[in-house]
Amino acid sequence: MSTIQTANIDFTSTGSTRIQYTNNDTFKFVAGNTDVLSVNSTSVRLVSLSTYANNSDAVSAGLVANTLYKTSNGEIRIVV
């Protein structure tokens, strides 16, 4: 039986966004050559989360309700 190591899903005309499954049971969402999100059985890693001072700043920048962002001290918050 063969195993799929990488499955690509093209979201753009260049095909630069993809989902990868690695040998250590991790799913990675990759844009270009940058990991955006990694998920495995023990952790979720958000690599490029936008930084805002507060909810008002996040909304002013265009984030919508239920979107994650972080503060400058690393707190993870959700837009309300």
Identity of the amino acid at 76: I
- pLDDT for 58 beyond 70: yes
pTM, 2 dp:
0.64
How high is the pLDDT of residue 80? 96
Q: Which residue has the higher pLDDT, 61 or 8?
A: 61
Q: Indicate the pLDDT class of residue 48, thresholds 50, 70 and 90.
A: confident
* Strand 34-39 to 44-46 pairing: antiparallel
Q: Indicate the pLDDT class of residue 54, thresholds 50, 70 and 90.
A: very high
Q: Indicate the pLDDT class of residue 13, thresholds 50, 70 and 90.
A: very low
CB atoms within 10 A of CB 52: 19
